Amino acid sequence: MKDKVHIRGKAAHCALGDDIDAIVTAMREQRVSLSDMPLTLINMDYSRPYFRLSASSAGASTDMETRFYDVLYRVIEKAIRDAGLSSQETERMAIFFGSTSIDIPIYEEHYRNAQHVLSQSASGYGNIASEITKRFHTGAASYTFTTACTSSANAFLYAAAMISQGFIERALVVGYDLFSHIGFCGFEALKLITAPPYRPFDKNRQGIIMGEGCGAVVLDKAGGSPDDFYFLGGANACDTHSVTTHDPQGAAIAKVMRAALMQAGVDAQAIEAVKAHATGSYHNDLTECNGLKQVFGSQIPPVTGLKPFIGHTVGACGVIEMILFSEAIKAGFIPPTLGYEIHDEELAVAPLTQALAIKTGTFLLNYFGFGGNCVSLVIANQKSFGNP
Amino acid sequence: MYIHSFGRFVGHPVEDIKYYKQDVSQYTQLHFRRANRFVLLSLAGACRCVHGRGIGKDTGVYLTTENGNLGDTEAVLDQIFHQHQFPMPYNFINTMSNTASFYVAQSLELFGRNLTLSSKQFSFERGLELLRSDQLCGAVKEALIGGVDEAYFSGQQFATKFERNADTIDMVEGSCWLLIKDREEGALGRVAAIETFANMSQVLSWMKARAFQGPVQAGFGLLMSAPEKQAIIVALPHSSPFDYISDYGYYDSATACGVTAFLERYQGNCLVHVNKDFLGQFVVLVIEQR
């Protein structure tokens, strides 16, 4: 990487709220807000847990399309404001959008009363990024990443690389997934959704709990404030073991973590802590822990998973979890992995059970998804590396 | 970015999915029992591109598409909203748009970077930009990049999107791929430029300041107007129009089709492909062939 790329501005909206300070406070106080989602649409008389955006902050409109863009645009406006961008700077900002469901939540509402809506009127995966371009009068390119749960992590990886190489001046990276019946019913059909509590890495873990959210960061060569995080390096690779699960030995995951560290120019020993993907599914946690052991040996740094706070926000988790993780560190702590109680000898990795006091350092963030997609990112804040 | 081979699978949709499975079985021994049309379409083009060639295990896969798995997504929505049933697991998995890029990697045993990308009319061009970035930072030495889209389901869908009569366009499905390496030796040609412009006058100024190698074929995206095409032809000395959409038909990531058709037909020539999106932005892609 030629130049450091800073997270100059950020905003997020998730189950913990839409204000960064309030979200960090909720993590510090280990508060969560979990809803029940009935499966009446498919004639089932039971519910499943889901981390919804809070009603008061989720946009008042009952029209799905209006609500969809209200949530999205508000988060982006806040991120741009947080970055302190001038209108000229915004004009030269490329858009990197990552999502699993894209605009399916909008189309789903039409399917209640109609058929063949998608095949008659689909406007394409790139449409939301195009709408962002129009709304915010950005004149640069837009890219939409659809790589399942790594979508916005990939968006971040490429935005940072292209800024560093001088192809673009700055970028808005957005991860966005609202509740979709396809995702919710699909994961339930695969028997992947667990009843509460959500407990990644625990011996009794039984699956994931999904969530919705939107996160946006403005990346720039110039940082906003001295403690802003910056990108050091990252990698993407494909594990061809299976379309739904990674090789349980963790070889591909270890390979992508090593590639990210190499790209970042740091040794494994330099990593202060790992934000694990930690979905809570039997296979994903096993695979990730096996990969961590290969990379770090017996010296695994503190590890935590953030999904018990906000749910698995699928394609949006890349950006949202990065914001939550980095903002918590700026506030002086890394949150523990909620729900974890019983050590699993098979994993042989114990995540944080209490908050870890820390303000600076170099950190590894993992993201894995269907389709064998693996992404690892390395970020740091300025105090740990001197002035860039 | 040096182009070492290309593969093209373009035509009118065939209803029976066995047609695609039989086609793909010529190139891979893996069985794709649960694969859908989009996956098989992707494989048909990608496998043609690398057939008979040895490629490295770290080869990246960049699948560019505007619509992805439309058919399976519609089927799952129908299962949920009208049949009131859970989606069939493999239907659900196939709604994930990167399922196709995964199966390309699995069938060719490729463990490198793997992406599925969209950017409206510019999906293929933007994919090339990401590949260029990966090559520059040393993350990728060799990559397969394809433009894959199913055909429009109906004239109405096309007309809604493009606000023009579908009767004027032959709507096809397509899967066109390039094998790109960072090595010049043995290459058919190279990607000489990918440039984005806010308006036509910027495009024309850039063209006038640049020298193009050999006779130039000028290709155009679907949204380019007749006067815009004419202005490009005038701005490019010794150029002639290359209307690959008339020759092969249209699908949403058709730029990839234009590039493969050019590589097949015009040795020693240069392709200048000008594309336009609904926001009035232009992307120029220049391919130089040996």
- Whether B92 has its CB under 8 Å from any CB of chain A: the answer is yes
**Are A149 and A261 in the same domain?**
no
Query: Which amino acid, residue B146?
Result: G
Pairing mode, strands A303-304 and A273-275: parallel
Residues A36, A164 within the same domain:
yes
Mean pLDDT value across residues A321-332: 98
Through-space distance between the first and last CA atoms of chain B, rounded to whole angstroms = 14
pLDDT at A238 over 50: yes
Tokens describing residue A303: 């590890």
Is A307 found in the same domain as A213? Answer: no
Residue range A64-85, pLDDT digits in tens: 999 999 999 999 999 999 999 9
Using an 8 Å CB-CB cutoff, list chain B residues near A111. 77-78, 80-82
Residue of B nearest to A120 (CA): B157
Q: Are B7 and B174 in contact (CB under 8 A)?
A: no
Instruction: For chain B, give every domain's residue range.
Output: 2-181, 189-289
Q: How sure is the predictor about A386, in pLDDT bands with cuts at 50, 70 and 90?
A: very low
| A120 touching B (Cβ < 8 Å) | yes
Contacts of B131 (CB under 8 A, 6+ apart): B1, B60, B62, B140, B143, B145, B180
A 61-100: CB under 8 A from B: 100
Instruction: Determine the pLDDT at residue B152.
Output: 86
Kindly state whether residues A283 and A348 are assigned to the same domain.
yes
Per-residue pLDDT tens over the stretch B203-257 = 999 999 998 988 999 999 999 999 999 999 999 988 999 999 999 999 999 999 9
Query: Does B119 touch chain A if contact means CB atoms closer than 8 Å?
Result: yes
CA A371 – CA A50 distance, rounded (Å): 23
The reply to whether A303 and A338 lie within a common domain is yes
Q: Find the residue in A nearest to B58 (Cα).
A: A237
- Is the domain of A309 the same as that of A183? no
Element (H, E) at A13: strand A5-13
Q: Using a CB-CB distance cutoff of 8 angstroms, which residues of chain B are in contact with residue A1?
A: 137
Distance, in Å, from the CA atom of A361 to the CA atom of A270, rounded to the nearest integer, reads: 8
C-alpha distance from residue A119 to each of A115, A344, B15, B156 (Å): 9, 47, 16, 9
Q: Is A40 exposed, middle or buried (0-12, 13-18, 19+ CB in 10 A)?
A: exposed
Are A211 and A238 contained in the same domain? no
- Residue B84 to residue A125, Cβ atoms within 8 A: no
Task: Enter the CATH code of domain B189-289.
Answer: 3.40.47.10
The enclosing H or E element of A378 equals strand A373-381
CATH of the domain at A137: 3.40.47.10
User: Residue A111 belongs to what H/E stretch?
Assistant: helix A104-111
10-residue averages of pLDDT along chain B (290 residues): 98 94 89 87 97 94 94 91 94 91 95 96 98 96 97 84 85 97 96 97 96 93 96 93 96 96 95 96 96
Q: How many structural domains is chain A composed of?
A: 2
A310 and A328 within one domain:
yes
* Predicted pLDDT at A60: 60
A206 and A294 share one domain:
no
Under an 8 A CB cutoff, do A148 and B65 touch? no
- Proportion of chain B in helix, strand, coil states, percent, rounded to 5: 40, 25, 35
Q: Are A50 and A184 in contact (CB under 8 A)?
A: yes
pLDDT at residue A251 is higher than 70: yes
Its ipTM equals: 0.97
Residue numbers in A near B133 (CB within 8 A): 158, 161-162, 165, 167
Length of chain B (residues): 290
Q: Which CATH number fits domain B2-181: 3.40.50.2000, 3.40.1110.10, 3.40.47.10, 3.40.50.800?
A: 3.40.47.10
Q: What is the pLDDT of residue B154?
A: 81
- pLDDT of A387 over the 70 cut: no
Residue A387 C-alpha, separation from nearest chain B C-alpha, in angstroms = 23
Which two tokens mark B17?
A: 């999915």
CB A29 within 8 A of CB A17: no
Among the residue ranges A161-165, A360-364, B35-39, the one predicted with the least confidence is B35-39
Say yes or no: A165 contacts chain B, CB-CB below 8 A: yes
Looking at A169, A188, A220, the residue that finishes a domain is A220
Which of A160, A187, A220 marks a domain boundary? Answer: A220
Neighboring chain B residues of A219 at a CB cutoff of 8 Å: none
Looking at the structure, do residues A208 and A331 belong to the same domain, yes or no?
no
**B246 exposure class (CB count in 10 Å sphere: 0-12, 13-18, 19+):** exposed
pLDDT at position A233: 96
**Chain A neighbours among B 3-42 (CB < 8 Å)?**
none
DSSP A211: B
B273–chain A nearest CA distance, Å:
17
Same domain (yes/no): A186, A331: no
Chain A residues 295-324 with CB within 8 Å of chain B:
none
Question: Could you report the per-residue pLDDT of A94-108, keeping only the tens digit for each?
Answer: 999 999 999 999 999
What are the pLDDT digits (tens) for A270-295? 999 999 999 999 999 999 999 999 99
For residue B194, give the chain A residue with the closest CA. A167
Q: How far is A361 from chain B (nearest CA, A)?
A: 24
Across the range A346-369, mean pLDDT stands at 97
What is the C-alpha separation between A244 and A371, in angstroms, rounded? 6
Flag whether residue B143 sits within 8 Å of chain A, measured between CB atoms: no
Residues A220-244 have a mean pLDDT of 90
- Among A162, A190, A220, the domain boundary falls at A220
User: Has this prediction a pTM greater than 0.90?
Assistant: yes
Are residues B92 and A186, on separate chains, in Cβ contact within 8 Å? Answer: yes
User: In A139-189, which residue ranges form alpha helices assigned H by DSSP?
Assistant: 151-164, 181-189
In angstroms, what is the C-alpha Rg of chain A? 19
Whether A163 and A247 share a structural domain: no
**C-alpha dihedral (A357, A359, A361, A365), degrees to nearest 10:** 70
Nearest CA in chain A to B155: A120
Which residue range is the domain that position A304 belongs to?
A: 229-385
Q: Are strands A362-368 and A213-220 parallel, antiparallel or unpaired?
A: unpaired
Backbone angles phi, psi at B242, to 5 degrees: -125, 95
Closest CA–CA distance from residue A159 to any residue of chain B (Å): 9
Domains B2-181 and B189-289 share a fold: yes
Question: What are the tokens at A369?
Answer: 């998804």
Candidates A42, A154, A158; nearest CB to B80: A42
In this prediction, residue A216 carries a pLDDT of: 98
| pLDDT value of residue A330 | 96
Residue B84's pLDDT is 96
Given a cut of 70, is residue A367 above it in pLDDT? yes
